[in-house]
């Protein structure tokens, strides 16, 4: 491990987690970002030297440079590092280096659920006093962090597949939650390309690695059939080695029993809604069981796990209106979230969907329409906002206004998120649940609704 690192765009949730982990190990860290944030402030408090704005002068000549896929070669800090022939790590290279330690590395992968399962594992192990180290892709609310370094035996991480860098990792235990066509700017042949990348990932694992797979997922089944040169450990709701049985969905909580080869391991209660969270909790229990953890000792802490930041997160309440924020930006994620909201039987649901990336909307156009139709009841509403480009150029004929018209029964609200809130707030009534769906600025919806509410109060 090097002793000095400089992060370009250090304020993101992924980059800040890696920076925090290094700082807690006593490594010298500097970095830059275009704006200040709570993540940046946390790093300063740990001793990080943070610059606001990108400049060649920010870059120490003796540091390893850390970048994400979003950093372009024209960035002045990356340019000066290239001119000096400094070592440049993609953030995945750094995570891979961190993971090569004497700790038992548990990695969570798949198209959906990585953040929740890695965060849930870190949370229950922490609550049980087992002191895990972790770097995850979201904030664990009770601990207000996305990373922690300890002297415990486990290292937990979320393994991002979006740009193919997952092949760099070799966990001792790997969980594959599910596989679907996504990130189609990279995976140009859709699910086939995803399967190819995960096959390469499997081939690079250690002979002793344990591979847990959600056998109920179609894409995972394709992976299992296409690459047979390993022993998969299966979990699912039936016909698997680890199964969740006697599932009971209740208002505000779900209970189920976990079996391993028909032997009852433990009973679990979770307060996260929806079948997908049963799968998430089952994945965690299965991984911990394979790691030798006494799952009965950690089972009580599943009930107090409130979820990860931006995963069905309750973010505001006013005037009888409750607002949730959810990172769902893929049709399957949207379908799962809206299905979980069906427990709000006595409330009107207003789902506000911000499409994320033109390429994703174009490739999954009909799938998005199908996912959103699930909530269109007589009482509920679907709102569609403008596309969040995420640095992409617009694609002719691919826009939210056209999508809303084809969707039918939905409403299109144009403008930035403050403008959306300004148009939406007067239409909301008491006993309404609003859920923002997307990976972009939709996360600011609750803040903007409250801001508009205050503006109206002054008039």
Shared-domain flag, residues 116 and 221: yes
- Which token pair is 215? 């056998």
Q: Which residues contact 245 (CB under 8 A, 6 or more apart)?
A: 237, 256, 257, 258, 259
Joined tokens for residue 149: 């370094």
Do 18 and 128 lie in a common domain? no
From 77, 103, 111, 114, the catalytic residue: 114
Please tell me the predicted confidence (pLDDT) of residue 185: 82
Q: What is the structure's pLDDT at 375?
A: 67
Active site residue 158: yes
Q: Is residue 96 part of a domain?
A: no
Q: Are residues 282 and 355 in the same domain?
A: no
If residue 47 lies in a helix (H) or strand (E), which one and from where to where? none
**322 plus 278 within the same structural domain:** no
The answer on 136 and 79 residing in a single domain is no
Residues 323 and 247 in one domain: no
Could you tell me if 377 and 299 lie in one domain? Answer: no
Claim to verify: residue 152 and residue 185 sit in the same structural domain: yes
Catalytic, out of 115, 332, 404, 441: 115
In angstroms, the CA 148 to CA 142 distance is 13
Predicted pLDDT of residue 344:
79
212 and 352 in one domain? no
Residues 46 and 115 in one domain: no
**Residue 56 belongs to domain with CATH number:** 3.40.50.720
Residues ≥6 apart with Cβ < 8 Å to 176:
109, 110, 198, 211, 212, 213, 214, 220, 223
**Segments of the chain scoring below 50 in pLDDT:** none
Task: Report if residue 95 sits inside a domain.
Answer: no
Summarize pLDDT for 42-87 with one digit per residue, the tens. 999 999 999 999 999 999 999 999 999 889 999 999 999 999 999 9
Instruction: Mark whether 411 is an active-site residue.
Output: no
Q: Output the CA–CA distances (angstroms, integers) from residue 307 to 118, 205, 280, 325, in the order listed.
A: 11, 30, 11, 12
Catalytic residue status for 114: yes
Active-site residue, from 77, 158, 290, 448: 158
Asked whether 298 and 154 are in contact (CB, 8 A), the reply is no
Into how many domains does the chain fold?
3
Range of the domain at 28: 4-90
Asked if residue 324 and residue 211 are part of one domain, the reply reads no
Round to whole Å and give the CA distance between 32 and 54. 6
Token readout for 39 is: 């993540």
In a domain, 283, yes or no: yes
* CATH number where 324 lies: 3.90.190.20
């Amino acid at each position: 491990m090097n002793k000095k690192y400089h992060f370009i765009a250090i304020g993101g949730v992924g980059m800040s987690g890696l920076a925090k982990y290094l700082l807690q190990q006593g490594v010298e860290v500097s970095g830059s970002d275009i704006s200040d944030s709570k993540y940046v402030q946390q790093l300063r408090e740990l001793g990080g030297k943070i610059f606001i704005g990108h400049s060649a002068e920010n870059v120490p000549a003796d540091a390893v440079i850390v970048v994400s896929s979003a950093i372009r070669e024209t960035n002045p800090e990356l340019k000066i590092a290239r001119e000096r022939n400094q070592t440049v790590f993609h953030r995945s290279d750094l995570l891979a280096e961190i993971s090569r330690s004497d700790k038992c590395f548990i990695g969570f992968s798949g198209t959906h659920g990585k953040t929740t399962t890695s965060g849930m594992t870190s949370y229950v192990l922490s609550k049980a006093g087992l002191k895990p180290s972790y770097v995850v892709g979201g904030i664990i609310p009770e601990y207000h962090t996305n990373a922690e370094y300890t002297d415990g035996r486990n290292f937990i991480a979320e393994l991002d597949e979006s740009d193919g860098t997952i092949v760099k990792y070799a966990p001792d235990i790997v969980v594959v939650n599910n596989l679907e066509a996504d990130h189609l700017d990279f995976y140009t042949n859709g699910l086939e390309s995803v399967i190819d990348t995960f096959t390469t990932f499997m081939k690079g694992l250690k002979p002793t690695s344990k591979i847990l797979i959600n056998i109920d997922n179609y894409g995972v089944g394709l992976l299992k059939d296409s690459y047979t040169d390993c022993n998969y450990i299966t979990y699912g709701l039936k016909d698997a080695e680890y199964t969740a049985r006697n599932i009971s969905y209740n208002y505000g909580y779900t209970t189920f029993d976990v079996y391993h080869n028909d032997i009852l391991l433990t009973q679990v209660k979770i307060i996260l809604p929806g079948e997908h969270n049963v799968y998430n909790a089952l994945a965690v229990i299965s991984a911990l069981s394979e790691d030798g953890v006494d799952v009965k000792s950690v089972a009580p802490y599943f009930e107090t796990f409130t979820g990860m930041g931006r995963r069905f997160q309750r973010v505001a309440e006013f005037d009888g209106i409750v607002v949730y924020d959810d990172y769902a930006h893929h049709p399957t994620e949207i379908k799962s979230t809206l299905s979980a909201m069906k427990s709000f039987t006595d409330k009107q649901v207003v789902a506000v969907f911000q499409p994320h990336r033109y390429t994703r909307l174009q490739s999954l156009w009909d799938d998005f329409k199908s996912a959103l139709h699930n909530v269109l009841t007589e009482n509920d509403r679907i709102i569609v906002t403008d596309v969040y480009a995420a640095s992409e150029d617009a694609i002719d004929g691919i826009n939210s206004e056209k999508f809303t018209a084809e969707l039918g029964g939905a409403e299109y609200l144009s403008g930035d998120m403050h403008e959306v809130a300004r148009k939406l707030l007067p239409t909301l009534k008491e006993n309404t649940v609003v859920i923002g769906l997307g990976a972009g600025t939709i996360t600011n919806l609750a803040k903007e609704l409250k801001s508009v509410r205050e503006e109206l109060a002054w008039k």
